[in-house]
């Protein structure tokens, strides 16, 4: 079970859970949304607090999704910047 589903299913707030971990609620929120990875030093606490409902495998999968999403976003941003640079170069060549 991913962490976001666990929190929702059990009526647990991100604020409360983040306090238990000792991290900001933004970090937990972004992790649940796949925007950032959760440092592995917190994994044991997540499994413990969730009483095993969130497993190490779940956390590995969530970190992989975050890594892949961020990698895809970096590649997309690089392609966009390259395209803009190419367009500027063409415009400057016409002047």
**What is the tens place of the pLDDT at every residue in 66-84?**
556 666 676 777 777 778 7
Q: Which of 92, 95, 41 is nearest to 63 (CA)?
A: 41
Is 19 strand, coil or helix? helix
- What are 14's two structure tokens? 């991100």
pTM assigned to the model:
0.67
- With a CB cutoff of 8 Å and minimum separation 6, the contacts of 43 are 56, 59
Q: pLDDT band for 2, please (50, 70, 90 cuts).
A: confident
The model's pLDDT over 36-77, given as tens digits with 9 standing for 90+, comes to 888 888 999 999 999 999 999 888 887 666 556 666 676 777
Domains, the chain, with CATH or none: 3-67 (1.10.260)
């Amino acid at each position: 079970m991913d962490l976001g589903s666990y929190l929702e299913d059990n009526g647990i707030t991100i604020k409360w859970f983040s306090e238990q971990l000792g991290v900001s609620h933004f970090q937990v929120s972004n992790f649940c949304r796949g925007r950032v990875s959760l440092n592995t030093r917190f994994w044991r606490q997540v499994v413990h607090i969730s009483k095993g409902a969130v497993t190490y495998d779940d956390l590995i999968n969530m970190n992989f999704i975050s890594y892949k999403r961020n990698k895809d976003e970096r590649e997309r941003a690089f392609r966009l910047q390259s395209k803009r640079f190419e367009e500027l170069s063409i415009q400057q060549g016409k002047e």
